[in-house]
């Protein structure tokens, strides 16, 4: 993983979950990526609900 990719992951999780840098860096890379995927999926579901509500 590149430094930029790691920074992006850490920023994304810290921004949305309010976890500290230390907490995030203590996660193993695969586990951190699972949280990124889960959070991304949650945000996409919420955005889809908002879009649907706007169309009504």
32's CB contacts (< 8 A; 6+ apart) are 9, 13, 24
12 closest CA partner among 36, 47, 41, 37: 36
CA distance 13 to 20: 9
Task: Write out the two tokens for 45.
Answer: 């579901």
Local mean pLDDT, 10-residue blocks, the chain (56 residues): 94 97 96 98 97 95
pLDDT at position 31 is 97
pLDDT at position 33 is 97
pLDDT at position 1 is 87
C-alpha pair distances (Å), 7 with each of 1, 2, 24:
10, 9, 11
């Amino acid at each position: 993983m590149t430094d930029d990719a790691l920074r992006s992951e850490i920023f994304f999780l810290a921004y949305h979950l309010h976890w500290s840098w230390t907490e995030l860096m203590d996660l193993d890379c695969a586990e951190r990526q699972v949280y990124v995927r889960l959070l991304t999926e949650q945000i996409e579901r919420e955005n889809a609900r908002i879009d649907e509500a706007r169309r009504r």
